[in-house]
Structure 1
Amino acid sequence: MASAVKDSRPGYGQLLRTPGAWTFLLPGFLARQPFAMLTIGITLLVQSTTGSYGSAGAVTAATGVSMALFAPQSGKLADRFGQRAVLLPGVLVHVAGVAALITLALAHAPLWALLAVAVPTGASTPQVGPMVRARWAARLGGSPLMPTAAAFESVTDEFTFVVGPVLATALCTGIHPAAGLIAEAVLTLAGGLLFASQRRTQPPVHRAQSGGRPQGSALSVPGVRVLIAAFLGIGTVFGGMQVSLTAFTQHIGHPGINGVLYGIFAAGNMLAGIACGAIAWKVGPRRRVLVGYGLLTLATTPLWAVTAVPLLAAVGLVVGLCIAPALISGYTLVESLVPAAARTEAFTWLTGAVALGQAAASSVAGQLTDRFGPSTGFLVPLAGTALALTVLLTLRGHLLPRAASAVTGGATHDTQDQAGAVAEDRERELASA
């Protein structure tokens, strides 16, 4: 497959003509839609039943933390046993968890009970996005279409974050506070089962390496650990924006525009993602990650001082435009840093880092909002991106592509096939550093 596309001009048209792509893209789109509805649905439901943004942020944080901790294990199991074997039980547990959370919230159960149910709900959240990315990597190998695939997935993710929050907010505010989570559970069940049924396009199973050695973890790659820290910063933007926009719109008496404002923010990310995938980059992904985080830090700086809705929408759009380059470049680096046997796990580590950052930001922003007002919650995205940028600048040397034998315990066919491409990428990065 890789050899068939290496000589083709990278672009969305060529990418979507990849044999078998649509068989997992369409089910994958449906199955990942609930991911964008979960945290905003929890926030709106718990705030409505408790009257506290702090409690809502705490439950959202518990969901996100458990998701972040268990997602990499889910990815590792998917690499070892196959995506279907992990996805099917996960979908069922998640739907049961959401149902229990709704029941307890409407019954005005104590906070500890909501937190207890939030843990399995978050832990079982289907990791469809990383699974789709792993399918792209398996089909494209080291082809020039991989950055385009990373951009396409970022656009798809952000399109769900345009539609999801708007849909969840409309259901929660227009029908019932629990309607958003009910829709999330239904879509998870239908989309997850449909995606799991696409067995032909799932990556090969890697049960053990030659000689019976168990495969290592993607976390053993230094570059993956650096990217995890960076993606935590992106998570603080998502979490801080969700809670702060909800509090801001409630404060001004127009809660219905919360989903619209967050949708504008996500639309900026989606538009930037489209542009990133259409550009034939001459600058390596490592440099793009650093520039992207620098711009993102600058863009989040004025959020806390904005009080007018149109201006807040404009600043949110700019923040969204700055997220995509950093996300896409980070996911692109995984293909050269990590061998195929651990890529699903690597992608889930990054997705989990975003969820963990989002959870921490939701909790902190909720506490700041309760104590000091809605605008203070916007300081969380600024602090998170600034810390992430500092880590990237300090440890940027770990993001240079190198052989991935540290994960597998020795050279593999995957790393041997990509050795030439890795060497070229390394030379280009060194030249541009």
Structure 2
Amino acid sequence: MHTTLAAPRRTSLVRETGFGYFPVALIARLPFAMMVVGILTLVVSARDSLALGGLTSAMTGLGTAIFGPLLGAAADRFGQRRVLLIAGLANSLLLVAIAWLAFATVPDAALLVVAFLIGASMPQVAPLSRSRLVGIVGRAFPTERRDAVVGGTMAYESAADEIVFVFGPVIVGLLATTMSPAAPVIGAAVLALVFVTAFALHPTAAAAAPAHGAAPKQAPARELVRPALLTTVIGALGMGLFFGAMLTSLTAFMAERGVPEQAGLVYGAMGIGSAALALGVALFPARFTLRARWVVFAAILVAGTLALPLAGSVGAITVCLLVIGVGIGPTLVTQYSLAAARSPLGRSATVMTMLGSAVVVGQSAASALTGFLAESAGAQAALIAPIAAAAVVLGAGIANVPLSRVRPRAPRG
């Protein structure tokens, strides 16, 4: 009588992390998606100054841009759990503080300082989730499967980002109109306290931490400025420039038609298509290489933006945004996949926060510049700004081609 051994179960990322990880990591991103718009809404309502509101939200972005990579480096050095718990608690308290200060008799400068500290303490959930999952893939999956699994993971992560950045502003609008202008900021504080804490305490955070009492093995910091890696950062900066330029110019376009509050709804058309295509990246054949994907989809992004200044109606601009969405999701997935593959040993959290901060820097800078252009020359002129931003993304993709001739190594965490 012959006995047959049961085949070993095929490893899956859901099995390695536990199913509960993904909803927790998704909701833990919402405070970041809510706070910039929420702070803008709060300050404009409380102080009756659009200029102060824009400056305050920009200070939030500046704080994140400066301190985001430092939080990533701290997570690589001390482990994600400790960094997230401290940042999440500080961020929640600061959000409650600005909700009170906005209506208090304090100087405007106090709001700017607190807004900067809010950005500086922002828990870097999305980059740290990417780093955490890439580390799990590197440990739990055989070498021949890692590239495919990392690609699918980056596809999911980019789609998750798109989802929260589409619905975050919607939640802000609902809370602000049905409750009070402070409600979105207080809601973000509660979400940060509960779900960032849950994300920090999840068992996968312990798996990503250095061994107890031992310094983590890390490549020299100079490896963070290698051309191949910096190209992905510049690409992410271009995506941030596009997001800021697109939303600001679209808001100006809708304001000229008397419905500025509908800008978020029209903008959502781009986000939904982008999220769907981001998930579809996992189905692309391996022969459609990462360097080729970046160039192809960035070219689609440029093509969609070139039609924006010619759009004379809301329907026409919505069609442009649908085309643009086809290019955004896959481009973001490709940039993060390349960054994961090129991360120096022991510095994946730093790299992921570098890309995330580059997006924030681009978004803040482009929002300010495009707003100035819209005020001085009108919405039609402002719609040229997304073209320039898309050109940066495509240029970085073209520069990446010769840097990708050598096959990237498997991610090492």
TM-score over 0.5 (shorter chain): yes
Question: CA offsets, 1:134-164, max 9 Å, x none?
Answer: 1211111251211011101111111112221
Q: Contact (CA 8 Å) 1:166, 1:263: kept in 2 or not?
A: no
Residue 368 to residue 172, structure 1, CA distance change in 2 (3 Å): farther
Which string of whole-angstrom CA distances, capped at 9 and with x for unpartnered residues, describes residues 39-97 of structure 1? 22233333444555544333222211221221111111111111111001111221222
Structure 1 segment 296-311 matched on structure 2, within 5 A = 296-311=301-316
Change (3 A) 1:126 1:162: same
Give the Cα–Cα distance (whole angstroms) in 2 for the partners of residues 270 and 163 of structure 1: 12
Aligned 8 A contact 2:219 2:344 in 1:
no
State the superposition RMSD in angstroms.
2.8
Question: Who is 1:425 aligned against?
Answer: none
1:344 aligned to which of 345, 349, 352:
349
Q: 1:359 to 1:191 in 2, by over 3 A?
A: same
4+ residue runs over 6 A deviation? none
Residues 236-290 of structure 1, C-alpha deviation per residue, up to 9 Å, x if partnerless? 1222233333444444333442332222221111111121123333221122112
- Matched ranges for 1:130-149 at <5 A: 130-141=127-138, 142=143, 143=146, 144-149=148-153
Distance verdict in 2 for CA 1:342–1:64, change over 3 Å: same
Find the residue that maps to 1:18 and give its secondary structure: helix
Cα distance in structure 2, aligned partners of 1:389 and 1:133: 24
Residue 155 (structure 2) aligns with? 151
Change over 3 Å in CA distance of 1:381–1:54 after alignment to 2: farther
- 181 and 403 in structure 1: CA distance in 2 versus 1, 3 angstrom threshold: same
Q: Is residue 205 of structure 1 aligned with residue 228 of structure 2? A: no
Deviation at 1:215, TM superposition (A): 4.7
Q: Contact (CA 8 Å) 1:165, 1:262: kept in 2 or not?
A: no
**Using the alignment, how far apart are the partners of 1:238 and 1:395 within structure 2?**
21
Counterpart amino acid of 2:175? L
- 1:276-320 deviations in whole A, cap 9, x for unaligned? 123333221122112222221221223344342222222222222
Residues 1:240 and 2:278 are matched in the alignment? no
**Are 1:123 and 2:91 matched, yes or no?**
no
Q: Which residue of 1 aligns with 2:81?
A: 84
Q: 1:170: which partner in 2? A: 174
> What do the CA deviations read for 1:371-423 (whole angstroms, capped 9, x no partner)?
3334444333221221332244245433455788xxxxxxxxx88x89xxxxx
Q: 1:196 aligned to 194, 200, 204, which one?
A: 200
Q: Using the alignment, how far apart are the partners of 2:104 and 2:408 within structure 1?
A: 54
Q: Secondary structure at the match of 2:185?
A: helix
Given the alignment of the two structures, is residue 353 of structure 1 paired with residue 355 of structure 2, yes or no?
no
Equivalent-residue separation in structure 2 for 1:53 and 1:389 (angstroms): 33
Partner of 2:3: none
CA distance in 1, matches of 2:48, 2:245: 19
Q: Which moved more, 1:388-397 or 1:343-352?
A: 388-397
Query: What is the TM-score when the length of structure 1 is the normalising length?
Result: 0.82
Counterpart in 2 of 1:38? 35
Residue ranges of structure 2 left out of the alignment (5+ in a row): 1-8
The yes-or-no answer on 1:282 pairing with 2:287 is yes
Structure 2 distance, partners of 1:187, 1:53, is 27
371 and 132 in structure 1: CA distance in 2 versus 1, 3 angstrom threshold: same
Residue 335 of structure 2 aligns with an amino acid whose one-letter code is G
How many Å separate the matches in 1 of 2:197 and 2:381?
41
Match of 2:383 in 1: 378
Secondary structure of the 1:341 match is coil
Q: Which one of 175, 188, 191 corresponds to residue 187 of structure 1?
A: 191
Shift of 1:16: 5.1
* Runs of 5+ unmatched residues, structure 1: 1-6, 9-13, 405-413, 419-433
Shift of 1:116: 1.9
User: Shift of residue 122 of structure 1?
Assistant: 0.7
Q: Report the count of equivalent residues.
A: 395
What amino acid sits opposite 1:123 in the alignment? A
Q: Distance in 2 between matches of 1:261 and 1:146?
A: 32
Contact residue 334 and residue 346 of structure 1 kept, 8 A? yes
2:92 is aligned to 95
